[in-house]
Structure 1
Amino acid sequence: MERERFEILSATMLRLVRAVQEIKAQKMGAYGLKGRSAAVLCRIFEQGGGMSATALVKACEVDKAQISRCLAELCEKGFVVREGTGEHRYKQNYVLTASGMAAAGDISRAFADIERTVSKNLTAHELEGFYRTLYRLCDNFDALLLKYQSSAENRKTQ
């Protein structure tokens, strides 16, 4: 019985991830963006003003190197510009250009539409319970992964 539930969970999660990736790829592909860069673009858009690389690291929960790559891509494509110059570029704000504002607005609207569509016929209570459960499952899987990684490291040192 437990094995069946695990197989259902694995297959369902994989199906969900594939669908989300495909939808995101179609929308972001129109702008030539990868997922993380689109997320950074939308985060700056949601903020309303500019954001520094340091603030984006915290807000997006990714490392500085990845944020730097995303910002470089967004600058290259003309979606954002860095305000000011100087040594402390991680503290300088990146602001949306007109094309960045249009792209971020379009992507944000698409994500909102996706969220509305996939959550239709579900009550707010059901969605709240689903997300609470999903976060717990993720935490449990993270803990299990750490356990397996620790066991693998112990075997290597023996």
Structure 2
Amino acid sequence: MNRRFEDFSTIMFRITHYWNKLATEEMKVYNLKGGYALYLLILANCEEEMTAATLAKICGRDKADVSRAISTMQKREIIEPFSKGAYRAPLRLTENGKQLAEKIQKRADLALALAGEGLEEEKREAMYESLSAIVDNLKRLTEEGIER
């Protein structure tokens, strides 16, 4: 019997579970939720201006979750507050935010290095390429449906 569905699903769920658990533990130090790590790193590494809606789309997260995170990080002076009435204003990290993102990036890099121990660079690249293709295909299937 073909177990590809079960194998793929359980592997992806387990990766997500452990990665979220690590992110939550790491971000506790800063009294922030684990999911905020991704938001901070994307903002720190983006080369052009980004709105909350764009950040939500890139992360594949709910806009309401991103808005709550931004509100929290603005109160903590990690992200500059929006101008009055400018919901679509670009997000910018404060100096505090940039320093925090740098610390988080170092920890994320270390976690990735440790998680990928024993993987040759060629295999790692093939894995990311394969996962990207799977994501694109799954997105298309959710938009177009699966033939019956």
Q: TM-score, normalised by structure 1?
A: 0.70
How does 1:1-158 map onto structure 2 within 5 Å? 1-2=1-2, 4-47=3-46, 51-53=50-52, 56-57=55-56, 59-60=58-59, 62=61, 64-82=63-81, 85-98=83-96, 100-145=97-142, 147=145
Q: CA RMSD in A?
A: 3.2
RCO higher in structure (CA 8 A, sep ≥6): 1
Deviation at 1:72, TM superposition (A): 0.6
**How many pairs were matched up?**
147
Q: Which has the larger radius of gyration?
A: 1
Unaligned runs of 5+ in 2: none
Going by fraction, where is helix more abundant, 1 or 2? 1
Unaligned runs of 5+ in 1: 152-158
Going by fraction, where is strand more abundant, 1 or 2? 1
Identity, % of aligned pairs? Answer: 23
Q: 1:97 to 1:65 in 2, by over 3 A?
A: same
Q: 1:10 to 1:108 in 2, by over 3 A?
A: same
